[in-house]
């Protein structure tokens, strides 16, 4: 395999989660002649092993020979995963082909209800509440692709022809395209086009980036690998929107949050990122990360009471609320998130965890995950009608086009108004996270001689950056508070 700029980026997002070498080398008592090890790693646990380019297979063989189990070589991203023992760890620390060894963190979904609803509650008329049907006279999402990082997307008849790519970063041997059901439900809210059910942007295309297994669990390297794929393939598939119906409690300022730097790299590369506010409301400061990042479009849940009238709409009690740790008022918009109908995948975890009396193709769910997918559909409509809009302009259009909700400072998304309203000025004065600044400074992507404390980010032409030449490996990790990175809850779903 030829190694070039694309290869550097292929390794980029995996490297970012564990590149604490600079700080670790300065820790007293650490043997600098040995491979650096994540201090949170369980010597008898699963490890994520970064290796020199082209050596994954050989290192995997060596790990097995030393006694490791469940060994996998991920050669395309120069990674090996394995279950260790203290003796195996000792042997691997002496292997010159290994860059570092980190805990292969588990990532999970954590939602309000881990199953489809099975009661008589009135369903949300979501498309009508969002004025999506009115917007279809101007835009239907044609020409826009939405990427989903989730449990996968099944071959549901209402998505026929919609899914243009499926990439599996879990690699668990699952026979089903979506053994969890969650991803298909979200894809339906965005782009379904059946006789009886339509998503918000029925002509949009879908890219499925599977990062979670049948039980809604996965590993952080899968999520980062998905971001890596997204950055490399966004132009090929015309990806304009990324849906993240995922989240975890914000541990530190976005300037020091790993996920903030990662999502900002997609945002500034021209992909509109839509993220869940989370379901930990109504207390202040309950916005999830990456939704707590100030750049992205953060979505909270709207309780529409199952009616099309706006007078009874309220912000859902469970929906995450700001301010964030950096003082940003979030979420940015609300969308239906209670008793929302979308596509059912029979036999999945969502289907099996509760007795199911229906054999139909549709089901209901509650949570900001659904709200997020609906707004991703609205973002696709805006981009379909305004192809030259940047992510910031899409966000501005959603905010400006939103309507007032009684008792809430956050507007409800309105698709029709967002198409015809001049975008509001949003993200004014924001600075990218220190993680991303370090990346750009070290890679030379913005040129030399820049004072990072005085640069006007609004004046930067992000579209001129060649993101394929950016190398996460070159980041100076002195600015990252690794103690604030929660390795075992770095990403949780907010279903």
Report all structural domains of the chain as residue ranges with CATH numbers, in order of start. 18-104 (3.30.70.80), 108-420 (3.40.50.200)
pLDDT for the residue numbered 99: 80
DSSP 8-state assignment for residue 179? S
Give the separation between CA 293 and CA 270, rounded to whole angstroms: 16
Choice between 159 and 345, residue whose per-residue pLDDT is larger? 159
Lowest mean pLDDT among 29-43, 202-216, 282-296, 439-453: 439-453
Residue 298 has pLDDT above 70, yes or no: yes
How confident is the model over 187-209, as a mean pLDDT?
Answer: 97
Span 247-275, mean pLDDT? 83
Q: What residues are labeled active site?
A: 150, 182, 369
The pLDDT tens digits for 123-168 are 999 999 999 999 999 999 999 999 999 999 999 999 999 999 999 9
Beta bridge partners of 148: 208, 243
Q: Is there a contact between 435 and 475 (Cβ–Cβ < 8 Å)?
A: yes
Show the DSSP H helices in 327-413 as ranges: 349-352, 368-385, 391-401
The per-residue pLDDT for range 322-332, each reduced to its tens digit, is: 999 999 999 99
Q: Are 430 and 352 in contact (CB under 8 A)?
A: no
At 113 the pLDDT is: 64
Which pLDDT does position 107 carry in this prediction?
56
Rounded to 10 deg, the angle between the 391-401 and 368-385 helix axes is: 110
The confidence band for 438, taking pLDDT boundaries of 50, 70 and 90, is low
Highest mean pLDDT range out of 128-137, 352-361, 422-431?
128-137
Tokens (6 digits) for 92: 């691997």
Rounded to an integer, the average pLDDT of 388-400 is 96
Q: What is the pLDDT of residue 319?
A: 94
Q: Which helix (H) or strand (E) holds 8?
A: helix 5-16
CA angle 194, 196, 197 (to 5 degrees): 65
- List residues bridging with 48 in a β-sheet: 81, 102
Q: Would you call 333 helix, strand, or coil by DSSP?
A: strand
pLDDT of residue 472: 40
How much is the pLDDT for 476? 37
* pLDDT averaged over every residue in the chain: 80
**pTM of full prediction above 0.75:** yes
Structure token pair of residue 283: 């207390």
Q: Are 263 and 331 in contact (CB under 8 A)?
A: no
At 241 the pLDDT is 98
Give how far Cα 208 sits from Cα of 163, 176, 262, 326, 360, Å.
7, 13, 18, 32, 23
Residue 481 confidence (pLDDT) above 70: no
Q: Name the phi and psi angles at 483, rounded to 5.
A: -70, -20
């Amino acid at each position: 395999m030829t190694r070039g700029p694309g290869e550097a980026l292929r390794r980029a997002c995996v490297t970012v989660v564990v590149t604490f070498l600079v700080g670790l080398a300065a820790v007293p008592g650490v043997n600098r002649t040995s491979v650096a090890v994540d201090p949170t790693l369980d010597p008898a646990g699963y490890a994520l092993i970064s290796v020199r380019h082209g050596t994954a297979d050989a290192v995997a063989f060596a790990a097995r020979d030393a006694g490791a189990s469940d060994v996998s070589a991920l050669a395309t991203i120069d990674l090996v995963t394995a279950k260790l023992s203290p003796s195996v760890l000792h042997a691997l620390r002496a292997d010159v082909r290994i860059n570092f060894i980190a805990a292969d963190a588990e990532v999970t979904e954590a939602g309000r209800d881990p199953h489809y609803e099975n009661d008589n509650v009135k369903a949300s008329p979501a498309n009508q509440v969002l004025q999506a049907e009115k917007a279809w006279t101007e835009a239907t999402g044609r020409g826009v692709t939405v990427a989903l990082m989730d449990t996968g997307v099944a071959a549901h008849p209402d998505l026929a022809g919609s899914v243009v790519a499926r990439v599996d970063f879990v690699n668990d041997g699952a026979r089903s395209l979506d053994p969890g059901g969650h991803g298909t439900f979200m894809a339906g809210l965005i782009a379904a086009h059946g006789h009886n059910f339509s998503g918000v942007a029925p002509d949009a295309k879908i890219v499925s980036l599977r990062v979670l297994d049948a039980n809604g669990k996965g590993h952080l390297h899968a999520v980062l690998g998905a971001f890596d794929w997204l950055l490399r393939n966004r132009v090929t598939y015309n990806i304009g929107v990324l849906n993240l119906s995922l989240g975890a409690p914000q541990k530190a300022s976005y300037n020091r949050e790993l996920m903030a730097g990662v999502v900002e790299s997609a945002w500034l590369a021209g992909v509109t990122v839509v993220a869940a506010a989370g379901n930990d409301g109504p207390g202040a400061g309950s916005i999830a990360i990456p939704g707590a990042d100030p750049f992205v479009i953060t979505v909270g849940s709207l309780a529409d009471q199952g009616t099309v009238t706006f007078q009874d709409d309220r912000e859902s009690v469970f929906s995450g609320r700001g301010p964030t740790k950096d003082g940003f008022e979030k979420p940015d918009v609300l969308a239906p998130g209670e008793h929302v109908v979308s596509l059912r995948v029979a036999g999945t975890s969502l289907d099996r965890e509760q007795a199911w009396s229906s054999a139909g193709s549709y089901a209901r769910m509650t949570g900001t995950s659904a709200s997020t997918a609906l707004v991703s559909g609205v973002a696709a409509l805006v981009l379909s009608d305004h192809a030259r809009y940047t992510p910031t302009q899409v966000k501005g259009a959603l905010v400006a086009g939103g309507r007032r909700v009684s008792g809430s400072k956050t507007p409800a998304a309105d698709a029709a108004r967002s198409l015809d309203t001049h975008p509001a000025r949003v993200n004014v004065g924001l600075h990218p996270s220190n993680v991303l600044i370090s990346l750009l400074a070290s890679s030379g992507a913005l040129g030399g001689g820049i004072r990072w404390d005085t640069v006007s980010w609004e004046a930067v032409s992000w579209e001129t950056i060649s993101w394929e030449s950016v190398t996460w490996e070159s980041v100076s990790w002195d600015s990252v508070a690794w103690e604030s990175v929660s390795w075992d809850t770095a990403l949780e779903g907010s279903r």
